[in-house]
A = this chain, B = another copy of it.
Amino acid sequence: MSQYRVLIDANDEKGLVHKISTVFVNSDLNILSNSEFVDKDNNKFFMRSVVDGNIDKKELEDALESVLPDSATVRVIEPKKKNIVIMATKELHALGDILIRHESGELEANILAVVSNYDKLESLVSKFDIQYITISHENLERPEHEKKIIDAIDSFDDVDYIVLAKYMRILTPGFVEHYEDKIINIHHSFLPAFIGANPYKQAYDRGVKIIGATSHFVNNNLDEGPIISQEVKNVDHAYGWKDMQRSGRDVEKIVLSRALKLALEDRIFVYANKTVIF
């Protein structure tokens, strides 16, 4: 018996659920859970099912594709640990939260390495027997620096996601394209507010009463890619911007770990620079 996650999107039309459920019945599959969503504005259908039974992955994919319209994308995924590389700079909290979750066995992931432009976090990471790769950006043009990072990452087989755990450098379009839909970032503000540098300082200057953090896929859209998760925290006049920053870290780490978990469990569809999450 195998368990599969089946993710299907297609242009919406009558009868899709019937077609899909017919394949499931004919394949003698048991539906463990099932979520659907139709975006009427864009006439787009999304479905995620978890099924189990005696059929191989390829067979099931073929069976589904044979009944579905050409617009459909079918993914049949066997649940297993995905491979991730984490990128960080100097801050501990978001990386540390992922390391602890990894240690506890909560994450469906193998951490292949942590890549950083500083060696500051090496002592922490090495405690967990995870490879730490320092690639300093000093005296390097951005593309040169990124080339070295890409070489390091691509030395591993099958990297599923790259997690930016407060990696504080802007990525070039080239880097982003190289890992399309694979880079998950945490932005330390309630996007789209405070897109630029030092968002806590911006939030403080604006006198907001709530701060937030946003996890999102990185793409080359101007405003920072499809949002996966957001979370907020009340603040008041007594918070200086460093208090906001300190206090915001708890939100940041929770939101990044939540996004990573959703990605690892294949719960996210990306389209129209947005996400559908089941």
- Copies of the protein in its oligomer: 4
Give the nearest-CB partner of A28 in chain B: B14
A40 within 8 A of B: yes
List of B residues within 8 angstroms of A55 by Cβ? none
Task: Give CA–CA (A219, B116) in the complex, Å.
Answer: 45
CB of B106 within 8 A of CB of A246, answer: yes
Tell me the complex Cα distance, A206–B216, Å: 12
> With A25-B15, A193-B192, A240-B41 as given contacts, are A100 and B93 in contact (CB-CB < 8 Å)?
yes
B14 touches A34 (CB 8 A): no
Q: Are B206 and A223 in contact (CB under 8 A)?
A: yes
Interface residues in A255-278 (C-beta closer than 8 Å to B):
257, 272-277
For residue A31, CB closer than 8 A to chain B, the reply is: yes
Asked if A227 and B207 make an inter-chain contact with CB atoms under 8 angstroms apart, the answer reads yes
Q: Could you say which of B99, B206, B250, B277 contacts A227, with CB atoms under 8 Å apart?
A: B206
Residues of chain B contacted by A18 (CB below 8 angstroms): 18, 21-22, 24-25
User: What is the total number of residues of chain A having a CB less than 8 Å from a CB of chain B?
Assistant: 68
Whether B14 and A25, one on each chain, are in contact in the complex, defined by CB atoms closer than 8 angstroms, is yes
Check B194 against A192 for contact (C-beta < 8 Å). Answer: yes
B37 touches A275 (CB 8 A): no
Which of chain B's residues have a CB closer than 8 A to the CB of A229?
Answer: 209
Residues of B within 8 A of A139 (CB): none
Asked if A226 contacts B207 (CB within 8 A), the reply is yes
A91 to chain B, nearest CB (A): 8
The yes or no answer to A2 lying at the interface (CB within 8 A) is no
Q: Are A230 and B208 in contact (CB under 8 A)?
A: yes
Known: A206-B192, A232-B232, A276-B237. A104 touches B100 (CB 8 A): no
A-B contact pairs, 26 of them (CB 8 A): A14-B28, A14-B30, A18-B24, A21-B21, A32-B38, A32-B40, A39-B237, A41-B240, A93-B101, A93-B104, A93-B106, A99-B100, A106-B246, A127-B127, A190-B190, A190-B210, A191-B193, A193-B193, A206-B273, A207-B272, A207-B275, A208-B230, A232-B232, A237-B275, A250-B254, A254-B254
